[in-house]
Amino acid sequence: MLSAQQACARVLADHAGILREGVEERFVIQSCTLTTRGDYWAVCCNSEDYVVHGLAEYCYVGVSAHLVDVETGAIETVANCTSVEEYLQDKYDLRAAAGGVYVLAPAFGRDDKPALINLRRKLACTYPQALALLSGEQAHWLTASRRRLQEAQRLLASQGIATRIELAPEVLNGIEIDVEVWYAEAALEALRKRLA
């Protein structure tokens, strides 16, 4: 197993040779912590001018952390738009899917009239369109990482639309979603794309 010092040394070595105004930039470690599962070192680093001297104008942005695999030493960079925990959860879920894909599907059937009426109203569609969304390949509404689908599921539940997350061997025409689905209307809009 790689030690914290070895992980930090690898990250600093990756930053060697970066120039600022023709002079090599010096980087220092801000933090190094072992992830909850103990499989990665999460290493944060930045310019010495920023970390040690507090000169914000020399802060490098865009990276949340570098993950160093404790077994192989391989480095993965986590962009600052995602937390280390979210990145790892997506990675673990992808591994657990074993080649399958996560899809969001309705948790009710064609015979649940109140749920069907609510779906039709929320999507502003016809009854035949709403019925079509409840059967066959049309029932794979959305696809994304499991974490993103959990968020979409929560948003749709706030609108009275019950869903479930399934692991499918392949996507059957599901609409792929990402960070843009972060409020209820965006989740409904993504679902409306299934009507087209």
Q: What is the dihedral of CA 126, 131, 132, 135, to 10 degrees?
A: 170
Which is nearest to 181 in space by CA: 189, 192, 173? Answer: 189
Sheet of strand 142-143: strand arrangement: 163-168, 101-106, 142-143, 175-176
**pLDDT value at 142 more than 90:** yes
Confidence of residue 195 (pLDDT cuts 50, 70, 90): confident
pLDDT digits (tens, 9 = 90+) for 90-118: 999 999 999 999 999 999 999 999 999 99
- A 10 A CB-CB count for 40 gives 27
Q: What is the pLDDT of residue 180?
A: 86
pLDDT digits (tens, 9 = 90+) for 50-80: 999 999 999 999 999 999 999 999 999 999 9
* Euclidean distance between the first and the last CA atom of the chain, given in angstroms as a whole number: 52
Q: What is the pLDDT of residue 181?
A: 86
- A 10 A CB-CB count for 51 gives 19
The pTM score is 0.80
Q: What is the pLDDT of residue 170?
A: 85
Token couple for 76: 């993965």
Q: What is the pLDDT of residue 150?
A: 96
Inter-helix orientation angle 84-97/146-157, to 10°: 100
Cβ-proximal residues to 52 (8 Å cutoff; 6+ apart), any chain? 28
Q: What is the pLDDT of residue 25?
A: 94
Q: What percent of the chain has pLDDT over 90?
A: 87
Which is nearest to 192 in space by CA: 148, 145, 129? Answer: 129
pLDDT digits (tens, 9 = 90+) for 171-194: 778 899 988 888 999 999 999 998
Domain boundary assignment for the chain: 4-96, 99-195
